[in-house]
Structure 1
Amino acid sequence: MSTSTTQSSRKKSIAKPDNSPLPGQAINARPMAGDVIYERILGSIMEHRLTPGTKLVEEKLAGIFGVNRTRVREVLARLSHEGLITTIPNRGAFVASPTPDEARAIFGARRLLEPALLRHLCEHTQPAHIAQLREHVAQEARARENNDRRAIIRLSGEFHIRIADMVGNPVMSKMMRELASLTCLIIVLYDSPTMPACAHDEHGRIIDAIAAGRAEDAVAAMIGHLHHIEEVLDMSAPPSEDEDLEAMLGMV
């Protein structure tokens, strides 16, 4: 047997790598980056498409996103580290379902972090900051006019993330992003069906105080805002589960 024939046989015997297409996956589809998958899942959590307790099956997610299970596993590990995913041995990964005690602890952490962010922003605020925050509140208002509850909750959480990002401290931004995402889970678990968790004018009052440089007024408005969200939650009403994972991820 010639050398070229031997080499050809060896090539044919090599197993396909782990990133080979899954059954039903388009061969020419470009694999989705881990950060994109992370943002898609995170956005679905913040918009209440992925609800607490939803099982995240690695193989199914790999097929939805057109990637291998290793990449999905890395994203799930990242979300688990942030507390948004709970991994149960021999059962799999599930969207976290914070208990009432955990929910109160998350609000307590926010009442410590966000006043510090506001005090710093009031000292270093720029006209562009105020314009961006007011435009964000305008987006919230449009979502309310359209009765788009998912967008309302997502934008409400992103308002607090925007404030953190304006401070320019990446560690605090990361903390705020994680706390805001966990709060979205808490709201979908415990939101009272008769009362919205976020009043439409509270963000506006916070912006007014920031714009005027009144740090303590901004802090008081934020603390009152967080207290209001926590107080209207009904800690005894878990949501129903939806098994259509692809639809919940906004892929259909």
Structure 2
Amino acid sequence: MNSFASASHAQSTALPVSRLGTPTEDLYPRLFDAILEQRIDEDSRFTEDSLKAMFNSSRADVRRVLTQLCHEQIVVLRANHRPRVAAPDRELIRQTLHARRLAENTLVRLACQRPREDQLTGLRTLIEREKRAVEQDRRGAAIRLSGEFHLQLARMAGNVPLAYFLRSLVPLTSLAIARSQSPTRSCCAWQEHLALVEVVERGDACKAGMLVNRHLDHLEQTLLGPDLEHCAVG
């Protein structure tokens, strides 16, 4: 098994986003998808050189992506050791989901205050991409795009520090979902996302908070519950 990645973690006042265009920005989703599909997992032995060859990228781009993934707790980087994919334990997942619930309940209510039409259109476009990924059984892309939905919704809230905080939680959740082995075609997240957008468009903060909690309940059941009956791509 081989590969992994992500784009440079911008140190600015703006929330960093993965916009495709430059080689580094294009490398992030390709490498992250490979990890989410477990073509690269915690047992994989890979190096900057092997990733460079696998993805036809420069060493500098690979290094920047690995650094971002390390910030997101997806990859572990240690001096004089090969990079490796993280293996979050149950307690870390529980704490991450608890933090997400606290953050997203506030963010979604803020997003309901003055949603712009272009923002809502962007969310619907993202949901359509997520739906296509599920239909095509592209599990890694479906999980990544589902996480990006939550980040894009958070940006609508207009609170940069809180949205940045959520950015630190979503990728790790995506990795946990990938490790749960829930079938891609059973996932209902895109329908839940669409319902949430419709409520945000109406400005119904109370209903939006309820839908977010229900969505996170499904996610918690998948990752921490006694069975894996519920779907999750959050």
Check whether TM > 0.5.
yes
Task: Tell me, in whole angstroms, the C-alpha distance in 2 between the residues paired with 1:43 and 1:173.
Answer: 23
CA positional deviation for 1:152: 2.2
Three-state SS of the structure 1 residue aligned to 2:168 is helix
CA positional deviation for 1:162: 1.4
- Show the 5 A alignment for 1:1-252: 34-38=24-28, 40-46=30-36, 49-64=39-54, 65-68=56-59, 72-88=62-78, 90-192=80-182, 196=186, 198-233=188-223
Question: Tell me, which stretches of 5 or more residues in structure 2 are unaligned?
Answer: 1-21, 228-234
Is this contact kept in 2: 1:84–1:95, CA < 8 A?
yes
Task: Tell me, in whole angstroms, the C-alpha distance in 2 between the residues paired with 1:150 and 1:231.
Answer: 20
CA positional deviation for 1:196: 4.1
- Name which of structure 1's ranges 205-214 and 141-150 shifts more when overlaid on structure 2: 141-150
Is this contact kept in 2: 1:47–1:154, CA < 8 A?
no
Structure 2 residue aligned with 1:248: none
Q: Output one character per residue of 1:113-144: Cα deviation in whole Å (capped at 9) or x when no partner.
A: 11121111101212222222223223333333
Across the two proteins, how many residue pairs are aligned to each other?
A: 205
Larger radius of gyration: 1
Structure 2 residue aligned with 1:6: none
TM-score by length of 1: 0.67
Task: Tell me, in whole angstroms, the C-alpha distance in 2 between the residues paired with 1:236 and 1:92.
Answer: 35
CA positional deviation for 1:226: 0.9
Q: In the superposition, relative to structure 1, how do residues 178 and 128 fare at CA in structure 2: closer, same or farther (>3 Å)? A: same
Is this contact kept in 1: 2:104–2:212, CA < 8 A?
yes
Q: In the superposition, relative to structure 1, how do residues 232 and 113 fare at CA in structure 2: closer, same or farther (>3 Å)? A: same
Greater relative CO, 1 or 2 (CA 8 Å, sep 6+): 1
Question: Tell me, which stretches of 5 or more residues in structure 1 are unaligned?
Answer: 1-31, 238-252
CA positional deviation for 1:103: 1.0
Counterpart of 1:218 in structure 2: which amino acid?
Answer: A
Is this contact kept in 2: 1:55–1:92, CA < 8 A?
yes
Task: Tell me, in whole angstroms, the C-alpha distance in 1 between the residues paired with 2:167 and 2:35.
Answer: 12
Q: Output one character per residue of 1:184-232: Cα deviation in whole Å (capped at 9) or x when no partner.
A: 1101112345994544421122112211111121011111101101202
